[in-house]
Each structure stands twice: as C-alpha cells, then as structure tokens.
Amino acid sequence: ETGVTQTPRHLVMGMTNKKSLKCEQHLGHNAMYWYKQSAKKPLELMFVYNFKEQTENNSVPSRFSPECPNSSHLFLHLHTLQPEDSALYLCASSQGQVAGTGELFFGEGSRLTVL
C-alpha cells in the first residue's frame, strides 16, 4: 500500500461537468504536488503546496483549480475541461526542504477521460 492515495482511479466526464480529484498522504509530509502525464510527453508539474500554501502554479489553465485544506489532503477541481485534458493525473508528497523538494512519493494516479 502506498502512503499516498488518490481517488477516483478512473474518471470519465463531459466537457460541461464539474468533478474533483482527491489525494491524501499518510506520510506526515508538508508538501504536496499535482503532476499531469499525457501520452508521449514527460511528466508536467502543475501545482505545489507547502504547508497548505500554494508555492508553484506552472501556468496551468484556470479550468483546473487546486485546493489544499491541510497538509494531508489535496484536491484538484475540474470544470469545463477539454478533450486534450485527458491524461493521468498524479499526486505526490514530500518532506519539502528549504533547498528543494526532498524525496518525492507518488500516488497511483487518476486516469481522466474528457469526452
């Protein structure tokens, strides 16, 4: 069992739907991340939260809205997505350090299909 759990594992949604992805980490880490993995592309960092504060937004469109209510939980709210947003969305956590990320641990991913 991974220390980072994501739900749902699979999601199919229409372009007008609103849905959310959830991530929970049980490792006592202070930093949480959303990554996107599209076919034939390297992993792309989307958002970073350190102690519940957003520290990175990697030019992500506003149709993706993150929320971090505490250091253990991270959400990605989705609305009016496009078919090209179909991808594997990966949550990760780390004991973030002053000088950088620290060792990163990933969840199992949420595979999103936008119709």
Partner 1 sequence: GIQVEQSPPDLILQEGANSTLRCNFSDSVNNLQWFHQNPWGQLINLFYIPSGTKQNGRLSATTVATERYSLLYISSSQTTDSGVYFCAVEDNNAGNMLTFGGGTRLMVKP
8 A C-beta contact, residue 25 and residue 93: yes
Q: Binding of partner 1 at residue 50 (CB under 8 A)?
A: yes
- CA–CA separation, 103 and 101 (whole Å): 7
Type of residue numbered 79? H
| C-alpha of 63 from chain center | 14
Is residue 109 involved in binding partner 1 (CB under 8 A)? yes
Considering only the stretches 14-22, 30-38, 61-69, 70-78, report the one whose residues sit in contact with partner 1 under the rule CB under 8 A.
Answer: 30-38
Closest Cα partner for 47 from 65, 69, 21, 29?
A: 65
Distance CA 35, CA 22 (A): 13
59-88: contacts with partner 1 (CB under 8 A): 88
Query: Is residue 103 at the binding interface for partner 1, with CB under 8 A as the rule?
Result: yes
The nearer residue to partner 1, 33 or 64, going by C-beta atoms, is 33
How many residues contact partner 1, by CB under 8 A? 28
Contacts to partner 1 by CB under 8 A: 2, 31, 33, 37, 42-43, 45, 48, 50, 55-56, 58, 88, 90, 92, 96, 99-109, 111
